[in-house]
Every structure is written in structure tokens, then in C-alpha cells.
């Protein structure tokens, strides 16, 4: 069977995008007799290690307006599928190709729970206009990663919930606990041996950055600690403004703002941190939290999208708009070693439920029963 995955909508260095790409790479590993073809703008844009039964087909840059989208998805992509002799097509942005008989599946990694009118981006909603229900109902299977999104999708677009599957998350193998010696080595190279809180937010707003700094100031004032703060924000259009704010900050010598770091180096920084502070979500997928738990690092996060239904009391919850609340959670983890250790132990139990076998089994169960799965 030839399975074609359109990766055009994946965002580089995005947790959700990496999860989606790795899901099909792991699936290919488990099914070496089948061929997996990834459609991408160029081969240089698809930076993943592939198995021998995987390949990348370049299809050029996607159009930017809805009129050209109709040509792209109803003529160009069907033509590519015909040329590749595809038996299954995976869409990652929710757009259905009308002019092809190849069975189509959708994996929705970026959906909105805050917009009451749609779960898709405004651009895709405009493209669909009044035909969304018709198109979505034609998909052989739709995979999402949230029970809440499942119910919303079914209700808004009149889709039978039987046709919507929950895809279990899994975490990249780079995110593993480090030995004490490795942690010491990383801290020696990064913070001169000092412990640090780690924050990650690629879309960090200036006002949230200031709020974080004020919370850290309260922590420093009350604890008189040498502990540092590392903030990772890659490809952030506000970086210049963030750096300006940092120049006049009282504890600027104890704060690092990193804007260029590889995924491997980030995994090591995370695994050597004292705690992971994640009040500002980058997507609806809690992958960053799971990465920390898998590294045995305690997490402070915001309870949005019913995240507490997933993590219960294995993480500390915070009001991301209140300086005192964030500072209090920093102080708690620093002062109360028992609380910190309890979070680590509970996090280990949660993280153990997420592995690639579950993800791949869910995908393959739907794809393999297709009448074109030959």
C-alpha cells in the first residue's frame, strides 16, 4: 500500500507538527512492507530521519489565497496522488480534495477551542464556506487528540462521532531523564552550575514576558536564591522587544533568553532544569508538558482546555495572569522538596501511558481496513 501524507501545513520546530510527522515515521517503521510518501514544499523543509520505505516528494510552495487553493487541492494534489498511485491520502489541515477517489483521512493537529464559530483557522473556514460538513463527512476517518474537540467537531459539522478517532499522543525519544552527572555538566556549561527554571513559549507576548520577569523578581526577593531563569522563545516576532525589556531588569544577570536552540539541546536543557514553567500554551496539544514529565521534571502550567482532566494532580496549576500566583508556585517548588518529588513521581505515572505503539495502532487500524489497502 502507498500512503501519502501532505505535510505542507506543518510548522517548522512546532511540537504538534513534530508529533504528527513522527507518528507516520514510526508507523512506517512498524510496517516496512508499505510505502510512505511525504509531500513537502522541498526536501530541505522536511528535516526528519526516514526509513527505507519512506520518501519525500516535492510539490512546491502552497498558494496563499482561497481561489488558488481550489486549484491546488482539487486538481494539483489529485494529480500527484494519481501519479504516485496512492492508496491512502492523509490531510493535516482539514481540507478535503474533491476530484480524487483515493480514500482520504484527516489528522487535525491545530484546532481552536476558543473560537465559538469554528475549530479551524479563519482561512480554512472561509475556504469551506457552507460545505464544511459535506467535505468532512466524506473523510474515511478524522483523528484529533482531545475529547472536547471531538464533541465540538461532531456538533458543529454534523459528523458521526464514530468517524472521529482520538489519537493517543507520544513523545520524541530525545526526552529522557538525565543522570546526575549529565545534569551537572549541562548546568556547568549553561548557568555556571546553578539550578534554573525553564520556560518555553515561541509566541511569548511582551506583556507576558514582563509578567514572568516580575514573578521571578518576587521569587528572588523572598528566597535570596542563586537559581536562574531560562526562557526559550524561537522564531518569535517580538524578540527585539523582549530583549529591550531585559536590559533594564534588576536580575538580568540571572535570566537567559534563548532564541536559537536545536531540539536535541532543548531536550537536555529541559531534563537538567529544576522545574518547567509553562503558563502560555503554544497549541492545544500538551506535548511540552508530557516532554517534561517524561524527563522527570515537575511542571507548573495553566489549566486551560480542561488540561486537568489529563494531568490531574501530577502538575501544579497557576493563573497565568497573576504575578503572585506564578511566584508562589516557584517558591513552593523551591522550598518544598517533598511537593517537588511528589510531582515527579506522579508525572512518571502519567508519562508512562504515552508511547508510539498506541499512536501507530490507532492510525493503522483505520488505514488498513480501507478497501484500497492492497
The pLDDT, as a whole number, for residue 108 is 82
Higher pLDDT, 150 or 185: 185
Res 284: pLDDT? 66
Q: Angle at the Cα of 286 (from 284 to 288), degrees rounded to 5?
A: 125
pLDDT score recorded for residue 257:
93
* 274 contact partners, CB below 8 Å, separation of at least 6: 195, 196, 197, 227, 333, 334
Fold of 2-170+355-367: Rossmann fold (3.40.50)
Contacts of 131 (CB under 8 A, 6+ apart): none
* pLDDT tens digits, one per residue of 254-304: 999 998 888 899 999 999 999 999 998 766 678 999 999 999 999 999 987
Closest by CA position to 198, among listed 185, 188, 211, 212: 212
Mean pLDDT of the residues in the chain: 89
Please give the pLDDT value at position 372.
55
% pLDDT > 90, the chain: 63
Tell me the three cell numbers of residue 139.
473523510
Pairing mode, strands 228-232 and 316-317: unpaired
335 in Cβ contact with 314 (< 8 Å): no
180-351 matches 2-170+355-367 in CATH topology: yes
Helix or strand or coil: residue 53? coil
Q: Please check the confidence at residue 125 and state whether its pLDDT lies above 90.
A: no
Using the predicted structure, report yes or no on whether residue 355 has a pLDDT greater than 60: yes
Task: Report the alpha-carbon distance of residue 314 to residue 62 in Å, rounded.
Answer: 41
Q: What is the pLDDT of residue 374?
A: 45
Residue 111: what pLDDT?
A: 61
Rounded to two decimals, the pTM is: 0.88
**Candidate from 145-149, 282-286, 331-335 with smallest mean pLDDT:** 282-286
Q: Could you give the 3-state DSSP secondary structure of residue 278?
A: strand
Question: What value does the mean pLDDT take over residues 193-222?
Answer: 92
pLDDT number for residue 341: 96
DSSP 36: E
Q: Characterize the bridge pairing of strands 196-200 and 275-278.
A: parallel
Instruction: Break the chain into its structural domains and give their ranges.
Output: 2-170+355-367, 180-351
The pLDDT tens digits of the residues spanning 198-207 come to 999 877 889 9
Give the pLDDT mean for 90-100.
89
Average pLDDT (331-338) is 94
Binned at pLDDT 50, 70 and 90, residue 67 comes out as confident
pLDDT over threshold 80, residue 110: no
CATH topology of domain 180-351: Rossmann fold (3.40.50)
Q: Which range scores top for mean pLDDT: 80-94, 107-121, 155-169, 230-244?
A: 80-94
Amino acid at each position: 500500500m502507498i500512503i501519502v501524507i501532505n505535510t505542507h501545513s506543518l510548522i517548522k520546530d512546532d511540537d504538534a507538527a513534530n508529533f504528527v510527522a513522527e507518528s507516520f515515521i514510526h508507523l512506517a517503521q512498524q510496517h516496512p512492507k508499505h510505502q510512505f510518501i511525504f509531500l513537502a514544499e522541498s526536501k530541505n523543509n522536511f528535516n526528519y530521519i526516514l526509513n527505507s520505505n519512506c520518501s519525500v516528494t516535492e510539490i512546491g510552495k502552497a498558494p496563499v489565497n482561497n481561489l488558488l487553493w481550489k486549484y491546488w487541492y482539487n486538481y494539483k494534489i489529485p494529480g500527484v496522488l494519481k501519479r504516485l498511485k496512492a492508496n491512502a491520502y492523509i490531510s493535516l489541515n482539514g481540507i478535503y480534495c474533491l476530484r480524487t477517489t483515493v480514500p482520504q483521512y484527516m489528522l487535525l493537529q491545530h484546532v481552536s477551542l476558543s473560537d465559538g464559530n469554528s475549530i479551524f483557522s479563519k482561512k480554512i473556514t472561509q475556504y469551506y464556506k457552507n460545505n464544511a460538513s459535506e467535505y468532512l463527512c466524506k473523510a474515511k476517518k478524522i483523528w484529533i487528540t482531545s475529547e472536547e474537540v471531538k464533541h465540538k467537531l461532531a456538533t458543529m459539522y454534523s459528523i458521526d462521532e464514530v468517524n472521529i478517532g482520538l489519537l493517543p499522543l507520544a513523545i520524541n525519544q530525545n526526552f529522557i531523564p538525565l543522570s546526575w552527572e549529565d545534569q551537572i555538566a549541562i548546568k556547568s556549561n549553561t548557568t555556571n552550575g546553578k539550578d534554573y527554571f525553564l520556560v518555553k513559549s515561541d509566541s511569548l507576548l511582551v506583556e507576558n514576558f514582563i509578567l514572568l520577569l516580575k514573578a521571578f523578581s518576587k521569587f528572588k526577593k523572598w528566597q535570596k536564591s542563586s537559581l536562574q531563569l531560562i526562557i526559550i522563545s524561537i522564531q518569535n516576532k517580538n524578540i527585539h522587544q523582549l530583549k529591550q525589556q531585559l536590559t533594564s531588569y534588576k536580575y538580568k544577570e540571572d535570566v537567559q533568553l534563548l532564541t536559537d536552540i536545536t531540539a536535541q539541546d532543548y531536550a537536555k536543557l529541559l531534563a537538567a532544569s529544576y522545574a518547567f514553567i509553562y503558563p502560555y500554551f503554544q497549541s492545544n496539544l500538551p506535548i511540552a508538558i508530557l516532554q517534561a514529565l517524561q524527563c522527570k521534571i515537575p511542571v507548573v502550567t495553566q489549566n486551560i482546555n480542561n488540561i486537568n482532566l489529563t494531568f490531574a494532580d501530577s502538575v501544579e496549576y497557576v493563573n497565568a495572569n497573576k504575578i503572585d500566583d506564578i511566584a508562589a508556585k516557584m517558591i513552593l517548588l523551591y522550598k518544598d522538596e517533598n511537593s517537588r518529588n511528589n510531582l515527579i513521581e506522579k508525572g512518571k505515572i502519567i508519562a508512562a501511558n504515552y508511547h508510539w505503539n498506541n499512536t501507530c495502532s490507532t492510525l493503522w487500524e483505520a488505514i488498513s481496513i480501507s478497501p484500497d489497502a492492497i
